[in-house]
Structure 1
């Protein structure tokens, strides 16, 4: 189950983050020389909730002999680009805080680099936009993020997706099944100097929990249909040799029967976002060449049915560049019982 981490910058923000339902806290000190008492106050205020702390190169360089400052922190988050001298200076942390998380901005590292991080003793990788105030989905497509999460899983690393999330972002990121989602900024347009917004945090927590706690009920449960129709993308598909490397138009139509919410929707936690469907199509389009539209339809249906709120799905896939008409397949699939 994906966990929810909230970034804080001082001890006064801890209570708001915890009231908002944070599973973990990510403490980002305002400076390398932040007082030891401030770090201690964060741990005390967290009252047992796991806390990570960001370690800058400046802090790592000046940290020798300050082992006590890491006492109580679950993990330290530091850039893997630190030179060997600075990295050596970080080894003092190992006794008090043995877990290390690599903080990587902007670029999703290749699989070989992730495996290298595992070999260097990193426990996970945090993927963030260029600054914490930006949305990750503004910089990387869901397909790229999905490959990052999968590569982390294969390398035995914790995957963390971070950014100044808006409510519609959360279901899209949850569909990728990262280990953790880190909310590292306020919503756009709001005063960034006031610290975390408790109401916004609570809604984010509800979004994270709503998808995780959904359960498929009996056949008679009421459903609604969420659909995406006539969604056209350019991609490579086909069994003929001349179709390899040749992009052609493919049209997708998807109808998902989702469990009806018991009350009138009030926020994103109460609805099934059609972005989940369009993102699944996008990931399929970027996954590489497939010979058969039948295989595409099956993969897309399985991807949509992975959401516990979906009971049945119809997927239609049509190739549009074969002549005057369209050719393809329509399938209907149901979620497995239980």
Structure 2
């Protein structure tokens, strides 16, 4: 069943997103790039303000250095979030780097790798991620200029990625400037999560404020898809 991930910048947005139907609250700083990490204190504040059973995640950045990225991920894991997301750019989206990260992170949390579709990542990297101990993999975009995930990868490629994750027991997610009209074709592929930020913000600006009405529309559309209702 595909659920809704909403990226938030503070505890106020977290409460708003949860109230409007978000299934996973994702802490991220849109001012610091595609996968910008928020300060630890902010992440802790977000976590503390949510019901204990809320599924949460926080991003650790997308550093090209294994040690720095691992250090950031380990620090964020101490905040109590359910998952920690690590961005793997061109340099990091390689089996050797994934293995090195796995050794540093082993036993310290539940980690999800984020691959950037606009950097032509090897989608077969999911096998290395599974071997390294990651619990999930997501596809996103590194350049937030209106180019959406479905503009970069075909439905066959996205389907193969999701199916590969499922076969390995990895949680899967799809994100990247998604809009409400992307829900129907992407949800049918069966990812665990569809991730949104810009498409839920006022004027479509991912650095702006979340629009509660937009969150509600997306949450309702995703719920309708889960119940087999066709788009109008």
Please give the range of the TM-score, normalised by the shorter of the 2 chains. Answer: 0.7 to 0.9
- The question of whether the paired residues in 2 share the 8 Å contact of 1:61 and 1:86 is answered with no
> How many pairs align?
213
Work out whether 1:24 is the aligned partner of 2:2: no
Which of the pair has more CA radius of gyration? 1
As a proportion of its length, which structure holds more strand? 1
Deviation at 1:104, TM superposition (A): 0.3
Gaps of 5+ in 1: 215-269, 274-338
Q: How far off is 1:187 after superposition? A: 5.6
Superposition deviation, residue 15 in structure 1 = 1.8
Contact kept in structure 2, 1:7 and 1:185, CA below 8 Å: no
CA distance in 2, matches of 1:194, 1:166: 16
Encode CA deviations 1:191-249: one digit per residue, 9 max, x unaligned: 444322111111111111112124xxxxxxxxxxxxxxxxxxxxxxxxxxxxxxxxxxx
Moved more, 54-63 or 38-47: 54-63
Match of 2:115 in 1: 104
| Higher RCO (C-alpha 8 Å, min separation 6) | 2
1:177 is displaced (CA, Å) by 1.0
Which deviations, in whole Å up to 9, do the C-alpha atoms of 1:128-165 show, x marking residues without a partner? 12335532112112121111111111222111001222
Matches of 1:144 and 1:85, distance apart in 2: 24
Q: 1:51: Cα distance to partner?
A: 1.0
What is the alpha-carbon distance in structure 1 between the residues aligned to residue 38 and residue 223 of structure 2?
34
**C-alpha separation between the residues in 2 aligned to 1:5 and 1:205?**
10
1:212 is aligned to 2:226: yes
Write the distance in 2 (CA, Å) between the matches of 1:33 and 1:22. Answer: 20
Q: What are the superposed Cα offsets for residues 116-139 of structure 1, whole Å, 9 maximum, x if unpaired?
A: 110001111110123355321121
| C-alpha contact 2:28 2:38 (8 A) present in aligned 1 | no
SS at structure 2 position matched to 1:131: coil
* Root mean square deviation, CA, Å: 3.1
For residue 61 of structure 1, the aligned residue among 68, 71, 74 is 68
- State the TM-score, normalized to the length of structure 1: 0.55
1:2 aligned residue:
2
2:186 matched to which residue of 1? 173
Q: 1:24 to 1:271 in 2, by over 3 A?
A: same
What is the rounded CA distance, in whole Å, between the counterparts of 2:183 and 2:102 in structure 1?
A: 37
What runs of 5+ residues in structure 2 fail to find an aligned partner? none
Q: TM-score, normalised by structure 2?
A: 0.78
Deviations 1:64-96 (CA, angstroms, capped at 9, x unpaired): 8x74762321111113417589838953x843x
Counterparts of 1:60 and 1:4, CA distance in 2: 31
Residue 71 of structure 1 corresponds to 79
Query: In the TM superposition, what is the alpha-carbon distance from 1:27 to its structure 2 partner?
Result: 0.9
